[in-house]
Amino acid sequence: MKASKLALAAALVLFGSMSHADAYKAQTSSPNGNFKIDPVHSMVEFWVGHLGTSEFPGRFDSISGEFTVDDAHPGSDKVSVEVPISSLDTNFEKRNKDLLGPDYFNEKQFPTMTFTSTSVKLDKAGVGELTGNLTLHGVTKKVTFSLRHVGAGPDPWGGYRSGYVAKTTIHRSDFGMNYMLNGISDAIEVQINIEGKRQ
């Protein structure tokens, strides 16, 4: 009897923890609407090769912009994003200063990075491609991201949110950042996490 009570208690604890683990689910409401990017829940991250021995991350903490989604007219979907270069953070002040200087981003001369979409393609599973013009370091190039819609639905404060993850690899030399290509990789992985609040 005592053993069966113990087993029941253990089962309840286990079940309880499992139910907590399953509590988080992507919301699957409509992604349609005009959304303003929520900078608190959005970020640009990148990974760059260092001396051929590692890949270290960096990020831009500030981001602004908007996106529009309309299932009925997919061709009209659009995204525009603006990132202040000064919000760069690689978790080391001296490196941040070097990256913001003329060797790399040259933030004083090119204070913002912008992306404006020219094409958004998503299948019914919310996976697809985002193509557009990326302006970085004074150079504008066409870039294609792989795109995934994470979810959409109401938030606890009466608003309505929708979010995406976009990933790509760019080459910094394409944007005129050619310094020390033998020590810092040319190819840079970029991931943009965007959460928008419907307007």
Partner 1 sequence: MNPLLLSMARETVLWPVAATLAAIAVAVLLGRRKIPFPLAIACGFLTGYSLVYGSYSFPPVEAQGWIPYFILAALAAFVPDDFGKYANATRVVLQALLATAGATLLLHPLLKNSLPLLLASIVLWLFMWFCIEMGRGAALLFASIGNAVVCATTGSTMLGQLGGVLAAAVFLRIAVGKLSHAESAVAAMILPSLMLVGHAYAGTMNLATLLIVSAFAAEPLAKWLKKPILAWPIAFFPVAIAASIALRDYLSQESSGY
Q: Please report how close the Cβ of residue 15 comes to partner 1 at its closest, in angstroms.
A: 48
* CA 29 – CA 15 distance, rounded (Å): 28
Residue 63 CA, chain-centre distance (Å), reads 10
Rank residues 160 and 179 by Cβ distance to partner 1 and give the closer one: 179
HSE, CB side, 13 Å, CA atoms: give it for residue 132. Answer: 25
- Whole-angstrom CA distances from 113 to 14, 118, 137 are 48, 16, 7
Minimum distance of partner 1 from residue 93's CB (angstroms): 8
Indicate the residue among 100 and 150 with the shorter CB distance to partner 1: 100
Choose among 165, 125, 169: nearest CA to 148.
165
> Does 98 engage in binding with partner 1 (CB under 8 A)?
yes
Of the candidate residues 51, 53, 75, 158, the single one contacting partner 1 (CB under 8 A): 51
Q: Of 12-20, 68-76, 132-140, 187-195, which part binds partner 1 (CB under 8 A)?
A: 132-140
The set of residues, in sequence order, having a beta carbon less than 8 Å from that of 197 and lying 6+ positions away, is 35, 36, 38, 155, 159, 160, 161
**Mask of contacts with partner 1, 146-185, x by CB under 8 A?**
------------------------------x-xxx-xx--
> Could you list the residues that contact partner 1 (CB under 8 A)?
51, 92-95, 97-98, 101-103, 106, 108-109, 137-139, 176, 178-180, 182-183
